[in-house]
């Protein structure tokens, strides 16, 4: 427990979609002085994301869908290329991402590897993301994917050459944080290098 924080008060501002709360609290600065601070925090739960990769084909599975927040903040068509992801809801992180991978991409993966956890926007959003990687094969494809209609998902599944996908970071075609992190993980850990285990 952080002893520099006390007297926390929480006020609900909105629960229309998830929950937006206003917090008031006393914070002790480095000079020992206590000051009253206020912050707002949006709570949508935690989530999982995964990079599906095929070592022999040198490919990855990504998705493309419309993301309204990016559209209203300068993304011209609102479309975003991403790794598969979803909120945990009542699932643990591993079960969640296996389910999301099948719903969104059509691939049923049973072996996934957790690589790290990260807060993606800690200044205002409580969400923590659990990051996974998993190998996929053509034999694992059980449907066309695309997400769930009742959740108003309209997801395009993309199978891309890894090098092409990685180059899309520099070109600005991939601007999603979690996707950049997973593609960089693949590059740094040589998921597509024949000598990665040497």
Known binder of ligand: residue 153?
yes
Higher pLDDT, 154 or 28: 28
pLDDT in tens, 101-125: 999 999 999 999 999 999 999 999 9
pLDDT reported for residue 198: 40
Q: Has residue 32 got a pLDDT over 90? A: yes
Average per-residue pLDDT in the chain? 93
pLDDT at 91: 81
Give the per-residue pLDDT at 145.
79
Close Cβ partners of 132 (under 8 Å, ≥ 6 residues apart): 48, 49, 50, 51, 93, 94, 97, 112, 113, 114, 115
100 carries a ligand binding annotation: yes
- The CATH H-level (homologous superfamily) assignment of domain 47-188 is Nucleoside Triphosphate Pyrophosphohydrolase (3.90.79.10)
Helix (H) or strand (E) holding 88: none
User: What is the structure's pLDDT at 74?
Assistant: 95
Q: Which residue has the tokens 């493309």?
A: 64
Domain with CATH 3.90.79.10 in the chain: 47-188
How wide is the angle at C-alpha 111 spanned by C-alphas 106 and 114, nearest 5°? Answer: 105
Residue 150 has pLDDT above 80, yes or no: no
Least confident of 18-32, 86-100, 138-152: 138-152
104 is in an annotated binding site: yes
Q: Nearest Cα to 139, choosing from 160, 110, 165? A: 110
100, HSE (Cβ side, Cα atoms, 13 Å): 28
Residue among 86, 85, 99, 7 nearest 51 (CA)? 85
* pLDDT per residue as tens digits for the range 51-63: 999 999 999 999 9
The pLDDT confidence band at residue 197, using thresholds 50, 70 and 90, is: very low
Single pTM value for the model: 0.91
User: In the structure encoding, which two tokens stand for residue 185, read together?
Assistant: 């993980």
135 is in an annotated binding site: no
């Amino acid at each position: 427990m952080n002893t520099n924080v006390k007297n926390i008060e929480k006020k609900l501002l909105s629960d229309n979609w998830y929950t937006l709360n206003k917090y008031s609290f006393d914070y002790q600065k480095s000079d020992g002085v206590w000051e009253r601070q206020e912050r707002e925090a949006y709570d949508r739960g935690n989530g999982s994301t995964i990079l599906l990769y095929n070592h022999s084909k040198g490919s990855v599975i990504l998705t493309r869908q419309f993301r309204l927040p990016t559209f209203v903040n300068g993304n011209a068509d609102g479309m975003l290329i991403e790794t598969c992801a979803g909120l945990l809801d009542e699932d643990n992180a591993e079960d969640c991402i296996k389910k999301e991978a099948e719903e969104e991409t059509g691939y049923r993966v049973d072996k996934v590897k957790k690589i790290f956890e990260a807060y993606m926007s800690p200044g205002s959003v409580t969400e923590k993301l659990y990051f996974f990687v998993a190998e996929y094969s053509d034999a694992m494809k059980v449907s066309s994917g695309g997400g769930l209609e009742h959740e108003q998902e309209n997801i395009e599944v993309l199978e891309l050459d890894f090098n092409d996908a990685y180059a899309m970071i520099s070109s600005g075609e991939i601007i999603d944080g979690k996707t950049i992190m997973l593609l960089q993980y693949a590059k740094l850990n040589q998921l597509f290098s024949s000598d990665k285990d040497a």
